[in-house]
Structures are given as C-alpha cells and as structure tokens.
Structure 1
C-alpha cells in the first residue's frame, strides 16, 4: 500500500513522478526493441534457410572416378536412406545470357519435370507461364529479376553463350544457342531470381555435351565398312548428370546423415558437401551479428535500470521524514527495504510488460510497418539487393522473449537494492531533528 502511494505522486512530487514515468518508458522501449530486433533476425535467418535449402539440397553429391550416367539409379538408392526426404539430379553449367541489348552471367540448371515438382518452392513460384509439358518444350525458365535485366518476357528469345564449344583447327569456338522464355519465376530471393536459369534435362545435356554414345546391348563389333545409318542404329546416346541434390528431414542432423549417405553411395564413389559447409561463413556472420546486437541493445535496458536507481534515490531523499516516522512507529529496516524495492520493481514490471506487448505487436507486423514507412518517406528500407530477401521477415522465439523479459525484470530488481538499502539505513532521530 505504501509503495503504491509513493508511485502516485502529489503535486509537490510531480518531478519525481515524471522521472519514474520516463524510466518506465525507457524500460518498455528497451524490451520492445530487443524483441523486435531479435525476431527480425530470427526471421531473416529462417527465411534465408528456407530459400537457400528450398532450391539447394542439404547435401550435394558430386560424382568422381567415372562419368555420371547412372544418376537415376543413384537417386533411387539415396531416397531409400532413412531420413532422406527426396533427391534430385541435374545438369549445371555457367553461361553468358543475352537478351534485348543486355547480358548477364547466369547458372543454367537442366532438370526434368519429375525433379522440378520435387522443388515445390521453384515449381509453385511461376509468375508468368508454367511448367506444363516441361520435358517436351525446348525453352527456359528464368527469375523475374533476370528477366528485367535482360529485358525479356514470355515468348522472347534468350541467347546463351558457352565458351567451351566445338573444337576447330583454330581452337575452341563459343557455342551459341537461343531458347524461348517459357516461365518467369519469383522465389523471393535476389540471388535465385537474378542468377539462375532452368531448362529441360535433355536439351541441357546436349548443350553442355554431357552425353556419350555407347553400343546398344546385344550389338556385336561393327563392320569397319558400316554406313553412317548403321552406325547410328547401333549406338544409343546416354546422358550424364552433374550432381545430385539431397534433401533431408532434419537439416541439423548433418553428421548422422553423412554417415548413412556415404554407406549407401559407396558403390558409386561420390563427394558429399553439406549446406553448413557451403554457407559456413555467411551463417556464422549472422550468428555473431545476433549476439552482438543482443548485447548492444541490452544496454538500453541497463540504462533504464540506472534511471530506476536515480529515481529511487531521489524518492528516498524526498521521503526521509516519512521513513523516520515509519521507523518510530515500529517499521523494521526490512520493511523499509521492501517498500522501496516494490516501488522500483513495479516501475520495471510495468515497463517490461508494456515493452513486451509493444514488441510482440511490432514484430508481428514488421513487413507492414516497413512498407508503410517506405511509402511515406519514399525511400527503400531494407532493399532486397542488399538484404537478399524481397520482404522483411519476422519470427518470434518464445525462449528469446522469455530471456529478454527475465533480463529486464532482473535488472529492474537489482537496481532497487541500493536505494532501498540506503532508505533502510536512515536514522529516525537525525531525520526528525529539524522537523
């Protein structure tokens, strides 16, 4: 009751009440800022993981020692491994893509429709066109940012240039071919929307010369005088793949899954690289940034805790006569400490709860607020060219929220101990001597 009365200021104590109110606001802002920033960074990491691992597998298996013509059997064997969701084979190469007066270096991936459907993020992201009859059409799918760069749309021709073309007496000549744009996709990540191009598997194998002609089963040695028609009839073309992307159920179970996959692929020698190896520097930087941001922003709450100390010290000075009267009426030192501890802790609790509510609301509407501020000010906040994503993601972690709230409440309580102890040391005789 007494602590509550001390929080409700009378006219002559208005200044102390203003300081307490500002301290409460400082705690609320610190808690809300921490929750919002940590939620945005969690969302940023989760969204990047979803995008990166939505098109690139948790493992990539590269063939060694022999040409990768048995890619279908290899994928079938890998998909029987416990913990594997699915696997896809593909052909990949780097080319120069040219459109209407503009060019860009791109990565071309050749995949059949069956494997494209496994990549739901890509298959469901078609904004223009579609993947119907993908294996029959001799066209390409490109990201919408790449389409803007090249100045093309559905039906336009894209010219791709591969420096490793046909061999001539004068050396290698570039291989140049044109393909119509059948699909323009938008997966929401700048790297994929501006750099990747997809085409059907067989045209990609033909373009990158990933095939070999082998004798059909049962065919004996050919007559040296055989005609070209007889030779063509005796041979069949067998395509090759560049690698296999493997998607697993638990992205963090890298060590266990690596052992299982290596045991399964021992008949076909392959080198496995996982997503943590490929993105180690990037995600390590993200983790360091999260820790640093949490530490720096925690200083806001620490500053607010010092404000609690200053406001309570002033309150103790102002209430010196009241403390002396309470002591002469029989209040113990412990009772005086509890009064001022409750007063300061109440400031911290109200500020923490207000910041919690504010932080959760802002974190849940981060993208809406970003868009509103960008439209109002006419500037691009969190441009996708810098932050990789086209929208500001947010993912609130209950554990982190609990840590932030506990930190704020703990600092608020600790901030009350010294002023409360000083109040408990008041000598009632000295305090009332001149009253």
Structure 2
C-alpha cells in the first residue's frame, strides 16, 4: 500500500537497509568505517514543513531516550536519516505525523531487542468488524501476565465520525425545513383553488357528491403538485450528482487536501427524502381538502 502512495523516491533503499551488514573487524589502530545512514520515507506534509526532498538528510529526535555528551550533558537521542521517498495518503493526519523506516533501524534507534516490537498493525477482511476483531484480539493476547490494548480505526477516529454524523443530521434538518417551507406554497395553491372553485364544489355537492369525494379531489391535486416537484427535484439532483462524479469538480488541494469533490449517491437516502417530501405534502394538503369538503352548497352558490 505504501508503494502506491509514493509520489517521490522509491522503497529500494529501505529494502536494502533491512539486509544485515557483514561484520568488519577493525585492525589495531584503524579508524572504524562510518556507519551507513539509514533511510526513511516521510509524508508530504512533513517534507513541506522541513523543506526537504528525496536524498537529503533529516535528524530524528526521540524525547523518550537520552544520550550523554562527552561533557556529561544529557540530550534527547537523535539520529540522521536519509529521505528515500515521500508518500501522499491524502489524509492530513498520516502525511503530517507518520514516517516509515526499516524495522532493524527502528529497533536500533529505540534501543529495542532483536525481536521486540512496540505494536502491530493488521488489516481485517471486513473493515466494519474491526472493533469486534480488535476486542477479540485484545482479550486473547491479555491472557498472560502482559496486557495488550487494541485500537481499531473507528475508535481512533471517533471524533471525526461524530462530526460527520452531526453534519448529516444538520443537513437533514435543513432539508426538512426547506421542504416544510415549500409545502406552504402548496397549501396556498390548494386554498386558492378551493376559493376559486367554490361554485363548482357547491354544484357537485348539490348533485350528491359526498364530502369524502371532494376531499379526495384536492388531496390528489396536492399529491400531484408535490409529487411532480419532488420527482423533478430528485431528477435534477441525480443528474447533478452523476455529472460531478463523471467530470470530477476540482477543488483547492491545499485547503481541502483532496483534488476533486467526492460525490456518493445513496439510493436509500434518495428514497427517504422522496418519501418524507410526499408525506409532508400529504399532511399539508389535508387542511385545504377538509375546507373544500366542509363547504356547504348554499354558501358556495351564494358567494
């Protein structure tokens, strides 16, 4: 996966660093050969912040470890690495905080044993079940004396998903208010229709038309007006969404950290919006329909 995210450099140097170096004993009075500089792959944001490119050196400092200078001063341990590549994952948190080095170089820098690791990252077949797999792995690994913790991608990005969920709720509320306000125009249209057709309603009722029949006429009229508007709106929205998916609307990469506007068309979301709009239109059409059904023939003919 890292190979596909590389924008500059390659992983050949990292693979070369993983090979053990042959021992070379120094003869008496001979200077030891300089240790080779290990390689590192950094994110694009780190490269931009440090203003470095492939082939240049950077110094990695560990605040958890200390080293003593010849003057007896304790300083955080540091080591030079040569940039072998720059990756772009299109996630700001990864590109600004993560770097990759060979496991042997990391163990040597962090003063770990030959077989020690501080963590493992695994991928599951079903990402939606990562929390279940993580809890099961933690329970199995913690049966001994040492305790282990497992953090899945949902828990790690809980704040982001909470914000996205709140954004969806707010968007649904705004959409509901838009449909709610638009429904008043249907009420006004049906009310004016009842007033303008008062004589026709009176004649129909004088000829024996039941109140339920008159009410159905205006309910059907309200559903036709609302249904046509809803279907036209859904059609235009779908056409716009598919156009954005087809032509990839570009957006500023330095602001949103993505190149194009992502668009996802959810079938069930569209169905829910259409049904909700029709239900609201039906509810708002009831009052004008009742007003027309309750109109007395004498009042309609007199007016």
Corresponding residue of 1:156: 56
1:248 match: secondary structure: coil
Corresponding residue of 1:187: 89
1:88-237 maps to which residues of 2 (within 5 A)? 120=1, 122-132=2-12, 134-137=14-17, 138-163=38-63, 164-168=65-69, 170-211=72-113
Distance 1:298 1:366, change over 3 A: farther
Query: In 2, Cα distance between the equivalents of 1:322 and 1:247?
Result: 71
Query: In 2, Cα distance between the equivalents of 1:411 and 1:400?
Result: 16
Displacement, 1:244? 1.3
Displacement, 1:279? 2.9
Q: Is the CA contact 1:382–1:392 (under 8 Å) kept in the aligned structure 2? A: no
Corresponding residue of 1:250: 126
Q: TM-score, normalised by structure 2?
A: 0.81
Return 5+ residue gaps in structure 1 as ranges: 1-119, 212-237, 375-379
2:176 equivalent to 1:298: yes
Q: Is the CA contact 1:166–1:174 (under 8 Å) kept in the aligned structure 2? A: yes
Q: Is the CA contact 2:14–2:84 (under 8 Å) kept in the aligned structure 1? A: no
Deviations 1:106-135 (A, max 9, x none): xxxxxxxxxxxxxx2x33111122223532
Displacement, 1:186? 1.1
Displacement, 1:330? 3.5
Q: Is the CA contact 2:215–2:289 (under 8 Å) kept in the aligned structure 1? A: yes
Distance 1:192 1:298, change over 3 A: same
Displacement, 1:382? 9.7
Query: In 2, Cα distance between the equivalents of 1:408 and 1:358?
Result: 15
Deviations 1:182-234 (A, max 9, x none): 111111111212222111111121122223xxxxxxxxxxxxxxxxxxxxxxx
Query: In 2, Cα distance between the equivalents of 1:381 and 1:391?
Result: 8
| Of 411-420 and 256-265, the range deviating more from structure 2 | 256-265
2:255 equivalent to 1:383: yes
Q: Is the CA contact 1:341–1:413 (under 8 Å) kept in the aligned structure 2? A: yes
1:271 match: secondary structure: coil
More strand per residue = 1
1:210 match: secondary structure: coil
Structure with more relative contact order (C-alpha pairs < 8 Å, separation 6 or more) = 1
1:135 match: secondary structure: helix
Corresponding residue of 1:7: none
2:101 equivalent to 1:241: no
Query: In 1, Cα distance between the equivalents of 2:133 and 2:253?
Result: 41
Query: In 2, Cα distance between the equivalents of 1:363 and 1:155?
Result: 43
2:220 equivalent to 1:342: yes
Query: In 2, Cα distance between the equivalents of 1:130 and 1:397?
Result: 39
2:158 equivalent to 1:280: yes
Equivalent pairs counted in the alignment come to 278
Q: Is the CA contact 2:15–2:102 (under 8 Å) kept in the aligned structure 1? A: yes
Q: Is the CA contact 2:222–2:285 (under 8 Å) kept in the aligned structure 1? A: yes
2:123 match: secondary structure: strand
Q: Is the CA contact 1:383–1:390 (under 8 Å) kept in the aligned structure 2? A: no
Distance 1:381 1:186, change over 3 A: closer
Return 5+ residue gaps in structure 2 as ranges: 18-37
Q: TM-score, normalised by structure 1?
A: 0.58
Corresponding residue of 2:264: 395
Distance 1:188 1:242, change over 3 A: same
Corresponding residue of 2:30: none
The alignment's C-alpha RMSD in Å is 2.7
Q: Is the CA contact 1:140–1:183 (under 8 Å) kept in the aligned structure 2? A: yes
